[in-house]
Structure 1
Amino acid sequence: MTPAGLITIPSELSAAETMNRLIAEVRAKGMTVFARIDHAAGAMAAGLTLRPTELLIFGNPKGGTPPMQTAQTMGIDLPLKALVWQDEAGKTWLSYNDPAWLARRHGIDGSLESTICLMAGALQAITAKAVSAA
């Protein structure tokens, strides 16, 4: 079962290639990559195992600031995040939070609908390119 507000799409590529393409697409859209966190490497350092699982934190203050001006608690969910992970069958997936769900979570009304729609559209375009072998 998919958690509420989470969009998960399949990738045609390996986890590493999906993440590399995600980073390239984020940068191509003029966004900043703030961090790339390799959870599997962290697990390994602790003597544990974890299938490939990497988190990318990225964004653009021009897009993220207006929602935070309306509801500062939005700062817990921004910058944007995307998780690239591999399931037990070896299939790669890319997951991210739905911006409309985040807006509802923080009580942001329709006054920022265009900003939230732009954020959602950018995420959809970026992630579609990141998971496609074409």
Structure 2
Amino acid sequence: MNPTGVIIRQSDYTVKEVIDRLENALKQKGITIYARIDQQAEALKGGINLPPLEFLLFGNPAKGGLIMEFNPATALDLPLKVIAWKNGENKTWVAYNDPDFIKQRYSLTDQLTAILDIGPIVTAILQH
């Protein structure tokens, strides 16, 4: 089941490895990491036992600022985020918002939409 506007990819890495690799790749590009949340650990605090699930919140204030200047409502989808989780079949999955969906949602220009495209970074970190 793919939710509308979400790109989901499978990975051979563990959840932790995916988020570690992504965090390192983003930092190397000068992108700010705002938060990393182990949602499995957080759910356990509420008595819910989830399989591994991590969340990474990141962005570039200057570039994100251009998008929010164009349409302040885009702050609902910014900073960017990626999640990785392990399903019941012991497979790791990675998901992020589709930039074309965000483009349509906020009537963004192609130039602004290009800022949102994290697909190449995700593809690179999923490769061995």
Band the TM-score falls in, shorter-chain normalisation: over 0.9
> In 2, Cα distance between the equivalents of 1:27 and 1:98?
21
1:83 is aligned to 2:83: yes
| C-alpha distance after superposition, 1:100-119 (max 9, x if no partner) | 211211233xxx31231243
**Runs of 4+ that moved beyond 3 A:** none
Gapped regions of structure 2 (runs ≥ 5)? none
**Letter matched to residue 119 of structure 1:** L
Letter in 2 for 1:129: A
Q: Which residue of 1 aligns with 2:114?
A: 117
For the residue of structure 2 that corresponds to 1:127, the secondary structure is helix
Letter in 2 for 1:22: L
Displacement of 1:49 in angstroms is 0.3
Q: List runs of 5+ in structure 1 lacking aligned partners.
A: none
CA deviation map 1:49-89 (0-9, x unaligned): 00111110000012211111111000010000000111110
TM-score scaled by length of structure 2? 0.93
User: Which TM-score applies when normalising by structure 1?
Assistant: 0.89
Q: Which residue of 1 aligns with 2:20?
A: 20
Cα contact 1:100–1:117 (8 A) shared by 2:
no
Q: Measure, in 1, the Cα distance between the counterparts of 2:126 and 2:11.
A: 4
Indicate the SS of the match to 1:89. coil
1:128 counterpart residue number: 123
User: Partners of 2:93 and 2:11 in 1: how far apart?
Assistant: 5
Pairs aligned (count): 128
Provide the residue aligned with 2:71 in structure 1. Answer: 71
